[in-house]
Amino acid sequence: MADKKAKSIDQATIELIEKAAKDNCNIAFDRADEMKPCPIGSVGSCCKNCGMGPCRVPLPRGKEETPEEQMKRRGICGATAETISARNFVRMIAGGSAAHSDHGRGVAELFLAVAKGEASGYEIKDEQKLLQLALEWGIEIGDRSNNEIAIDIGEKALAEFGKQEGELLFISRAPLKRQEIWRREGVVPRGIDREVVEIMHRTHMGVDQDYDNLLKQGTRAALADGWGGSMIATELQDILFGTPSPLLSQVNLGVLKKDEVNIIIHGHEPLLSEMIVAAAQDPQMLEMAKSKGAKGINLAGICCTANEILMRHGVPLAGNFLQQELALVTGAVDAMVVDVQCIFESLPEVAQCYHTKIVTTSYKAKMKGATHIEFEEHDALTSAKEIVKLAIENFPNRGSNIHIPEEKTDLIAGFSHETINYLLGGLFRASYRPLNENIINGRIRGVAGVVGCNNPRAMHDEAHVAMVKELIKNDVLVLQTGCSAMATAKAGLLVPEAAAQYAGAGLAEVCETVGIPPVLHMGACVDNSRILIAATAAVKDGGLGDDISDLPVAGAAPEWMSEKAIAIGQYFVTSGVFTVFGVTWPTTGSKEVTDFLFEGIEEKYGGKWAFEQDPIKAARLMIEHIDKKRAALGIDKARERVLYDMAMRRELDEV
C-alpha cells in the first residue's frame, strides 16, 4: 500500500522531492501545496471571456437549487451557468486540438521539405507505409520516386488543416457505422484550423448560447484532432522516422549517468530530437565529451518527445511529467532541451539551483532564462550539434551536489498498430483475428486505453498503476500512451514477465503465447490515434459488432491535467468509447452539462464520460462497461467457461 502522505509511489521521485527541499529549490509539488485550486474555476463556473467579468456563477453550497435560483445564476451578459460551463469545456478542447494539430502541421511541413530535398539529414524511412498512404489517398504511384509521391502526400496532408469544406480524409478510416453517426449528428470535421477557430468564435461573448450546440462544435474539433491532426502527426512521423516495433529500454531517473554528459529531451515534437540522437553519436562530439572528462553522451527523455525517441531508437525515459524538475534536482543534467507542450516555466529557475542549461528550440515556445537555439529544418543537424556541444561544455560545471537515484526499470515499447497486427497474425497474414478470437472466447475480457498525464493534485503515478493492475488482473489488455505508460513502466508492468505476475489467467495465457506484456506501450499523446486505428481494425476483423461502440473496450486518464487530455477524451467518447477521468472534472458547476456528458451523449455517440477519483472504482466501472458490451455481443457466456475449458487451453497451446 502506498504511504498516503507521500507525494508519489515512486522512490526516485520521493528522494528527489526531499533533495529539492534540502536544496531550497521550489518545485511543482511545493506550489501545489501552497496554492489550492480555485473552487469556482475548477468546476467550470467562472467566465472571463469579456471585460464585463470575470463572472462567477457557482452552485449554491449545501442545498438543492430551485429552477428560479438557477435562472438567476448568470453572468453580466446573461450567460447561464450551462453556457459558461460548456464554453469553458469546449475552449479546453480547442486548446488541446490546436496543440496536437499544430504538432501535426509541423510534421507535415518537415515531411514536405524532406520530400523536396530541402531538409538535409532526414529521409523517408518507411517506404511501405508511404505507399499504403498514397494508395489510401488516391495518389499515383506508378514508377514515380518515393520523394515525388511524398510531395503529393505532404501537400495533401497540409491542405487538411485549412480545408474549408468537405470531410477530413482520415474520417473514411473509421467503421462505416461510425461515419454515419457522425454525419447524422453533423460533426464530421472540415479543416482542423476551421473547427478550432469556430470554437473560439462561438465561445466569444454573445455568440453561441446553447450548451448542446457548443458541445457539438467541441465534438467536431475533437474529432478533427483524433482523426485529423494527431493522426497526421503519427502517420507522417512513422513514414519519416520509421514505424515503431518492439524494443527494450529503461525508465526512471536512474538512467542518468554520473560519468557521462546527460542531455534530456523534453516536450512533444520529435523533429529536432531525431537529429539530437544522431548528433550524440557523432564521433567528433564523443571526442569532445571525452576531452571534457566525460565517458560518453547519455540521452534520456521526459514526456512525449521521450516516448517518440524511445519508440524508434530505444532512448531511455528519464521520467514523466512531474519528474521534469526533479531531473534537474539530480544535479547531473548538463542540458535539458525543450520543444513544445507540458514544459514547466519554472525550469530555468530550478536550473539555477544547479548547473543545467535549459535550451528552447521552437519559435513558438520561448522562456525567460533559457538559451534559445532554434530548430532549423533545412539544417537540423547543425542545430542539434550546437545543442550537444553546449551540454558537453557545461559538463565540467557540475557541482558536487549530485544525487542520481538508483531506480530504473526495464520496459518494452514500440507497439504500433502495424506491430500488433504482425505479432498477432504473423508477417504474411497480419490481422487482428487472434485478438478478436481471444476476446470472443473470453481469455481476454476486453481492451482498455489508459493514457494521460500526472497531476500534483493526486499522488504521482498511483492512479495509473493501481488502475492498470486492476484491469490486467481482470483479463483486460491495456494499451497505453503518454505519461501513463511511463508510470506503469516504472512499476514493471511493461515487460512480458508482468503477465504471469499481475495478469488474470486468460490474459496471461495469451501474453505468454504471443510473448507480449499485458500492457502495451503505443507511444506519445498524438499516438492515441493508433488506439483509434487498433479499435477500427478489431471492428473490421469481424465478430465484435460493426462499430467501435460495440467493442468491449474502455478508456481512461486517471491523472489528467492538460487540455489535450480533454480533447482526447472527447474524441474517444464520440468515437464510441466509455471514458473515465480522475482527479477533477471541469463541468460540475453545471448539472445539465455534466449530465449530458455523463449520460445523454451516449444516445448520440454510443460512448460517454465518467468521473471517478478512486482508480480501483474507476477500473471497475470500465470492467462493468466491458461486461455490458460482452453481454450485448452475446459472448458473455464464453468467459464464464474460459477457465475450465481444457479443449480451449489445448487449442491455445497449438497457436
Binding residues vs ligand MSK (CB under 6 A): 268, 303-304, 321, 342, 452-453, 482-483, 524-525, 562, 564
Q: How far is the CB of 317 from ligand MSK (least distance, A)?
A: 11
Instruction: Label residue 22 exposed, middle or buried (CB < 10 Å: 0-12, 13-18, 19+).
Output: exposed
Are 109 and 158 in contact, with CB atoms under 8 Å apart? yes
**The binder of ligand SF4 chosen from 2, 37, 38, 48 (CB under 6 A):** 48
The smaller minimum CB distance to ligand SF4, of residues 40 and 390, is found at 40
Q: Where are the alpha helices (DSSP H) in 515-645?
A: 528-541, 563-573, 591-595, 601-605, 615-633, 636-642
CA distance 549 to 74: 37
Which one of ligand SF4, ligand MSK, none interacts with residue 314, CB within 5 to 8 A by kind?
A: none
Cell representation of residue 547? 462499430
Which one of ligand MSK, ligand SF4, none interacts with residue 425, CB within 5 to 8 A by kind?
A: none
Binding mask 71-110 for ligand SF4 (x = CB under 6 A): ----xxx-x----x--------------------------
Angle value at C-alpha 82, between 78 and 87, nearest 5 degrees: 90
**The binder of ligand SF4 chosen from 13, 45, 49, 436 (CB under 6 A):** 49
Cβ neighbours around 204 below 10 Å, total: 12
Q: State how far the alpha carbon of 131 is from the alpha carbons of 138, 148, 156, 503, in Å.
A: 10, 11, 14, 38
Map the footprint of ligand SF4 across residues 204-243, applying CB under 6 A. Answer: 205
Distance of CA 56 to the CA centre of its chain: 32
The smaller minimum CB distance to ligand SF4, of residues 84 and 489, is found at 84
- Start-to-end CA span in the chain (Å): 38
Q: Where are the alpha helices (DSSP H) in 503-562?
A: 505-514, 528-541
- For residue 38, give the DSSP letter: P
Q: How far is the CB of 311 from ligand MSK (least distance, A)?
A: 13
Q: How far is the CB of 244 from ligand MSK (least distance, A)?
A: 16
Q: How far is the CB of 320 from ligand MSK (least distance, A)?
A: 6
Q: How far is the CB of 524 from ligand MSK (least distance, A)?
A: 6
Question: Who contacts 552 (Cβ-Cβ below 8 Å, separation ≥6)?
Answer: 439, 445, 446, 447, 544, 626, 627, 629, 630, 633, 635
Q: How far is the CB of 75 from ligand SF4 (least distance, A)?
A: 2
The smaller minimum CB distance to ligand SF4, of residues 51 and 283, is found at 51
CA distance 526 to 225: 9
The smaller minimum CB distance to ligand MSK, of residues 70 and 570, is found at 570
Q: Where are the alpha helices (DSSP H) in 23-145?
A: 28-34, 67-72, 81-115, 127-136
Which one of ligand MSK, ligand SF4, none interacts with residue 452, CB within 5 to 8 A by kind?
A: ligand MSK
The smaller minimum CB distance to ligand SF4, of residues 21 and 50, is found at 50
Q: How far is the CB of 70 from ligand SF4 (least distance, A)?
A: 15
Which one of ligand MSK, ligand SF4, none interacts with residue 453, CB within 5 to 8 A by kind?
A: ligand MSK
Q: How far is the CB of 305 from ligand MSK (least distance, A)?
A: 8
Q: State how far the alpha carbon of 562 is from the alpha carbons of 139, 483, 597, in Å.
A: 37, 12, 18
Which one of ligand MSK, ligand SF4, none interacts with residue 482, CB within 5 to 8 A by kind?
A: ligand MSK
Cβ neighbours around 208 below 10 Å, total: 20
Contact between 53 and ligand SF4 by CB under 6 A: the answer reads yes
**The binder of ligand SF4 chosen from 2, 18, 38, 52 (CB under 6 A):** 52
Number of H helices, E strands in the chain: 29, 16
Q: How far is the CB of 83 from ligand SF4 (least distance, A)?
A: 8
Q: How far is the CB of 205 from ligand SF4 (least distance, A)?
A: 4
Give the binding range for ligand SF4 (CB under 6 A) out of 46-54, 213-221, 273-281, 387-395. Answer: 46-54
Which one of ligand MSK, ligand SF4, none interacts with residue 54, CB within 5 to 8 A by kind?
A: ligand SF4
The smaller minimum CB distance to ligand SF4, of residues 84 and 392, is found at 84
Strands 357-360 and 371-372: parallel
Contact between 41 and ligand SF4 by CB under 6 A: the answer reads no
Q: Is 75 helix (H, G, I), strand (E, B) or coil?
A: coil
Are 16 and 329 in contact, with CB atoms under 8 Å apart? yes
CA distance 113 to 107: 10
Which one of ligand MSK, ligand SF4, none interacts with residue 76, CB within 5 to 8 A by kind?
A: ligand SF4
Give the binding range for ligand SF4 (CB under 6 A) out of 70-78, 230-238, 294-302, 578-586. Answer: 70-78
CA distance 448 to 409: 23
Are 93 and 75 in contact, with CB atoms under 8 Å apart? no
Point out which residues bind ligand SF4 (CB under 6 A).
47-50, 52-55, 75-77, 79, 84, 205
